Structure 1
Amino acid sequence: MSEQTVDAAGVEHASAGDDARIVSLVPSITELLFALGLDRQIVGRTGFCVHPRERVRAIPKVGGTKSIRIDAVRALRPTHAIVNIDENERTTVDALRTFVPHIVVTHPLAPEDNVALFALLGAIFGRRDAAQRLSDALRTELDAVTARTWPRQRVLYAIWRDPWMTVARDTYISAMLRLVNWHTLPDIDGGPTGAQRYPAFDLNARWLADVDRVLLSSEPYRFTQSHCDTLTQNPQVAGGLAGKRIELIDGEQVSWYGSRAIEGIGYLQRYASRH
């Protein structure tokens, strides 16, 4: 068994031929497939797979990451479907297994896990050289960020409101932020799956007193400057966030793994340096 061809579910995948038909149900993976030069093999994507913008438009949509239209996927006759443990529903994946010959499961939990992700897809789809180039570029960015000394910060990274939701310490987002010595609160691990990976919280939670800065992400909820202004200017609404430093952050750059991680690490360094 080759480690390069074993996915996050422990399944070993054989090399696919040039006639592979890939449906990607993960936005960041779709972008990665284009970066690997697999344009002609991609036959389906979700509505949230929006990068690269000009090239992805020609690929049929099959629903959202958590609302896949199974019949739409079936009609595309895929040989491979690429899914993610956090982003896709287990029931969806089980349904796909009944007619898709190869289900490739992904679950990167830290920036360095992208090296294995590149190798996995590169090996399956015959793009080893392209995968190696991406790995080299990623290692360059990782070396650059780890070579610097970053002041320690305790941060709240908000991904949703009504209810308010954040990220556990063992998520990819939290690991990305640790590259610049930003540590997410609350200090909990969510486990391999489930709601506790992205826990809800109350704006009056006591642990918010320990937060140094609040990061409102642009996705999956699209926080805007108006949300920052409301929380900054209205202490009654802000609750435990009153008086905190509240900022917007680009969620794609922080939460998208795959090829975007290379750009994302650079973005995070610039962001931390400015802020």
Structure 2
Amino acid sequence: MKQLKDQVGFSHSFEITPKRIVSLVPSQTELLYDLGLEENIVGITKFCVHPYHLKSTKKTVGGTKKVNYDKIRELNPDIIICNKEENTQEIVEELKKICSVWVTDIFTIEDNFQMITDFGQIFNRRTEARKWNDKLTFALSGFKEFVKDIPVKKVAYFIWKNPYMVAGSGTFIDELLKLNHFQNQYASRERYPEIDLEKMDPDGSLDLALLSSEPFPFKAEDGYDIVKFTNSAQAILVDGEMFSWYGSRLLKAFDYFKYLHNSI
């Protein structure tokens, strides 16, 4: 019997390896696929778009904040994969009535390594998990070498419009901003605060307004509306998946970040 504890501290006992998986987190669906578990995935969310073909081969059970419990129950899962940020506590508690619910909580790159290791243990994919962590470790080292001499830039990372919301501290986005030598203008604010554009750049030191492609799909014209409230900041559209998805996506993110720095 496997005795494991998830990232919110809940203990799980697995007498046998879970075979039927429902994933309610897009980036973790991608990770499960990359660990060789495609055949075991039986249910996903409508936002699970990587790899794209899963949308036509797996049952969609709702979104991340609103799920169809009856559809999940009908799939007879052995385990449901959730995330503290993506899925509400209410959803997790209701899902526990169906089967084991494994909850991840990712703030740091180290948390990401731990999640991959955990999945390797849960699903008997230890070798695959170790290979992914080795690849990520190597890529992370290479990126740190790439970015070490790049000057720090002060940035605001926008995730929503009307109201305007940004990424603050205690988020995976903030962790990746630091890795990129981006000083988060809102690092003193928790999670995803609403902000007033007129107060965004009080000392005129903001360098970049990073406009994410998700969850709000910012366009170039949005950048003009934002940077007019700054001294001389530049607005840049960025791929939100690269800054907010964890798991195996991080490997592609390092290459994307190099491209981003070379284009600034």
Answer whether TM exceeds 0.5 for this pair: yes
**Are 1:246 and 2:235 counterparts?**
yes
Q: What displacement does 1:99 show?
A: 1.7
Q: Secondary structure at the match of 2:42?
A: strand
Q: Secondary structure at the match of 1:247?
A: strand
Letter in 1 for 2:118: L
What is the count of residue pairs matched by the alignment?
261
Q: Which residue of 2 is the match for residue 132 of structure 1?
A: 130
C-alpha spacing 1:241/1:119, structure 2 compared with 1 (3 Å): same
Contact 2:17 2:122 in 1 (8 A): no
**Are 1:204 and 2:198 counterparts?**
yes
Q: Which residue of 2 is the match for residue 60 of structure 1?
A: 59
C-alpha spacing 1:229/1:204, structure 2 compared with 1 (3 Å): closer
Letter in 1 for 2:185: L
C-alpha spacing 1:29/1:139, structure 2 compared with 1 (3 Å): same
Say what the alpha-carbon RMSD is for the aligned residues: 2.0
Letter in 1 for 2:42: V
Question: Where do 4+ consecutive residues of structure 1 move more than 3 Å?
Answer: 12-19, 206-210, 229-232
Q: Which residue of 1 is the match for residue 253 of structure 2?
A: 264
Q: Which residue of 2 is the match for residue 81 of structure 1?
A: 80
Gaps of 5+ in 1: 191-196
Q: Which residue of 2 is the match for residue 174 of structure 1?
A: 174
Q: Which residue of 2 is the match for residue 184 of structure 1?
A: 184
Alpha-carbon distance in 2 for matches of 1:46, 1:206? 35
Q: Give the 5 Å matches for 1:14-53.
A: 14-15=13-14, 17=16, 20-53=19-52
C-alpha spacing 1:2/1:21, structure 2 compared with 1 (3 Å): closer
Letter in 2 for 1:11: F
Q: Which has the higher strand share?
A: 2
Alpha-carbon distance in 2 for matches of 1:210, 1:199? 20
Deviates more, 1:16-25 or 1:91-100: 16-25
Q: Which residue of 1 is the match for residue 211 of structure 2?
A: 216
Q: What displacement does 1:112 show?
A: 3.0
Q: Which residue of 2 is the match for residue 193 of structure 1?
A: none
C-alpha spacing 1:16/1:157, structure 2 compared with 1 (3 Å): farther
Question: Normalized against structure 1, the TM-score is what?
Answer: 0.88
Q: Secondary structure at the match of 1:93?
A: helix
Question: Normalized against structure 2, the TM-score is what?
Answer: 0.92
Q: Which residue of 2 is the match for residue 8 of structure 1?
A: 7
Q: What displacement does 1:254 show?
A: 1.1
Q: Which residue of 1 is the match for residue 120 of structure 2?
A: 122
Gaps of 5+ in 2: none
Tell me the percent identity. Answer: 35
Q: What displacement does 1:207 show?
A: 4.3
Q: Deviations over 1:45-71 (max 9, x none)?
A: 110011011244311111111111122
Alpha-carbon distance in 1 for matches of 2:15, 2:237? 41
